[in-house]
Structure 1
């Protein structure tokens, strides 16, 4: 029995020596691998919109439209026209790309923004973005209209929709300008016609006076030379009567205006915060009976002796390495939130007065 125990102890020692050598070898290999893979990565150049100056303001802008933004212009709310395109030639803000926007606004003014997407001839104008209360802006696309999802400095969000006429194409704007120019021409023609009519009326009155005077002179001559009365004066008065003036019958004209849906983004709790107990384990050596498989780590000799005294045949044991739990670590998991869109008011339509049109002559006038 002593011989078996000596042989088993020698085998155990040899196993530990070999295991130590293997662990040492793995450690050296790991260090070499870590040395080879430790490289310094170059920082990516951060793109911006606009140029940073000592007076400029800035905020973060992210493109969430699913398309490229090719035009981005800004101006103060009190200014008439927008700046040139802040994006350089060939530059575009890709989808999901975040950039820092640099812009200039006059004191106490708000910011107006103009945006155009790739392969579209529509521009979208947003007015009165408050620079003092804006943290970041997300550009989104819904039903072919660009929206601005503004995150305020207190964490709340609000969605800005484009101004009413900003989504019109350049051709539509040109058509409207041409219609207005035609209306102005028609008004000038009518004013000129009225002036000509007034001049003709005055000329006609003058002719009537001259004719009446001539008629009276002729009548006097006829009375002197003949007893026949003259009706030339009455005939002239009946033929020079004025035509009745046209009275406009103005009929209100309306157009249907689409009012887009309004809403905002909210942070919704998906998973509450919680603490997790993670077990800590380590490998430990155990003495196991060769015959009955009992754990005899505490006293192998007593186990063998007790087996022999009770007619058993447990005459040896071997060692096994087993993973055991030695304690627990507390791992904290933060709460998980997600952003959800909430509708404040659904899309609808309304009738908007555009002007008036005469049912008789077709003339129009502005509201």
Structure 2
């Protein structure tokens, strides 16, 4: 008997230990699931830039209708922008809101560069004052990105990009190449002028040396003539010969090299019309008062057809009898009667219409350059 009691007690203790372990396991599992959910939520919150003790933050929303694939910042006094804050494969989707972390130098403002997907243009916004900014909405108007800034006091303002920022990278490279080519031509021209000046100075120096040699020879002849009169005729004969050294180097300077005067060449390109469909209001929403009716009994005079409902019927019928009317009496007739009104709401009515954003037009596209002097051409 005692053995059975000991076995039952041991089984009960083992059951309690196992139950406690299962409960502890469930509790740990629940805790892990909660932590995983919290971590997942934190990962869902996307930011741009690194958050540091000196960084500032700014919330912005993409309302361009396209994905933002380029987002760079810098302090206004710095020359170069930072690397793209969006890593490869990352993009700010349309209607997505993110928090931007950035740093600026003391007394500096923020410069921002933004680029859209499938667009080789980037848009630069200089000296953006973010001290009292609540949020920024990135929008697209007339093929240009704009920043719609909402201040902390509720006022709004729209910032437009700098004039040269909307140019494509190819256009910027072309302009840079043209400037470099012009600098090279200017250097060549300056070098040619310097060479020509040096040659001219050398020629003048040689002329001076020739004249000095001639004068020295003349002085020697004069000395010889005064000391030896018998050779005067020979000296005179020698001095009468023309000198060929005076103009030997007068035409040694080379003509200046030709300098190209590059003139941009353009062709006319047709730009098609652009537009969009939008909902246009046809009928505004309104409320209508609709009558509520019921069928009710009415007392009608048999002689004149008057509605006697709610009146002294006996007096009316008696009057007809005095007057000698043949019919007399009255009858009951059921009629539809308005007993109240109910309000019926009608929603606004819209229809889809096509709206032209920009009409068809033409633009001038750069095709290359041509020298106005010699006619030589080069690609852009």
TM-score (norm 1): 0.50
Q: Distance in 2 between matches of 1:184 and 1:209?
A: 37
Give the SS at the match of 1:53: coil
Q: Distance in 2 between matches of 1:148 and 1:205?
A: 67
Change (3 A) 1:223 1:113: farther
Q: CA deviation at 1:216?
A: 4.4
Change (3 A) 1:187 1:223: farther
Could you tell me which of 227, 234, 237 is aligned with 1:225?
234
Change (3 A) 1:148 1:216: same
Which structure 2 residues correspond to residues 140-151 of structure 1 after superposition, within 5 A?
A: 140-151=139-150
Which structure 2 residues correspond to residues 192-211 of structure 1 after superposition, within 5 A?
A: 192-211=191-210
Q: CA deviation at 1:164?
A: 1.7
Deviations along 1:13-59, whole A, 9 cap, x unmatched? xxxxxxxxxxxxxxxxxxxxxxxxxxx99985222222322222112
Q: CA deviation at 1:199?
A: 2.0
Q: Distance in 2 between matches of 1:74 and 1:206?
A: 61
User: Mean alpha-carbon deviation: is it higher for 84-93 or for 63-72?
Assistant: 84-93
Question: Would the aligned equivalents of 2:199 and 2:252 in 1 still touch at CA under 8 Å?
Answer: no
Give the SS at the match of 1:132: coil
Alignment length (residue pairs): 218
Change (3 A) 1:133 1:225: same
Deviations along 1:1-24, whole A, 9 cap, x unmatched? xxxxxxxxxxxxxxxxxxxxxxxx
Change (3 A) 1:230 1:217: farther
Could you tell me which of 233, 236, 255 is aligned with 2:246?
236
Deviations along 1:124-162, whole A, 9 cap, x unmatched? 110111121211111111121111111111111111111
> Post-superposition, which runs of at least 4 consecutive aligned residues in structure 1 deviate over 6 A?
40-43
Q: Distance in 2 between matches of 1:191 and 1:180?
A: 16
Q: Distance in 1 between matches of 2:233 and 2:193?
A: 45
Deviations along 1:272-328, whole A, 9 cap, x unmatched? xxxxxxxxxxxxxxxxxxxx9xxxxxxxxxxxxxxxxxxxxxxxxxxxxxxxxxxxx
Give the gaps of 5 or more residues in structure 1. 1-39, 247-252, 254-291, 293-358, 362-367
Question: Would the aligned equivalents of 2:58 and 2:99 in 1 still touch at CA under 8 Å?
Answer: yes
Give the SS at the match of 2:114: strand
Q: Distance in 2 between matches of 1:180 and 1:66?
A: 37
Which structure 2 residues correspond to residues 14-33 of structure 1 after superposition, within 5 A?
A: none
Question: Would the aligned equivalents of 2:207 and 2:249 in 1 still touch at CA under 8 Å?
Answer: no
Partner of 2:345: none
Give the gaps of 5 or more residues in structure 2. 1-33, 222-230, 257-262, 264-296, 298-371, 375-380
Give the SS at the match of 1:193: helix
Deviations along 1:328-357, whole A, 9 cap, x unmatched? xxxxxxxxxxxxxxxxxxxxxxxxxxxxxx
Q: CA deviation at 1:210?
A: 2.8
Q: Distance in 1 between matches of 2:167 and 2:233?
A: 81
Question: Would the aligned equivalents of 2:58 and 2:134 in 1 still touch at CA under 8 Å?
Answer: yes
Change (3 A) 1:206 1:146: same
Deviations along 1:86-107, whole A, 9 cap, x unmatched? 1222111111111122212223
Partner of 1:174: 173
Partner of 1:61: 60
Which structure 2 residues correspond to residues 149-298 of structure 1 after superposition, within 5 A?
A: 149-216=148-215, 224-225=233-234, 227=236, 229-232=240-243, 236=246, 240=250
Change (3 A) 1:115 1:224: farther
Give the SS at the match of 1:236: coil
Q: Distance in 1 between matches of 2:236 and 2:85?
A: 97
Root mean square deviation of aligned Cα:
4.1
Give the SS at the match of 1:102: strand
Q: Distance in 2 between matches of 1:77 and 1:170?
A: 22
Give the SS at the match of 1:83: coil
Give the SS at the match of 1:84: coil
Larger radius of gyration: 2
Q: Distance in 1 between matches of 2:232 and 2:205?
A: 26
Give the SS at the match of 2:165: coil
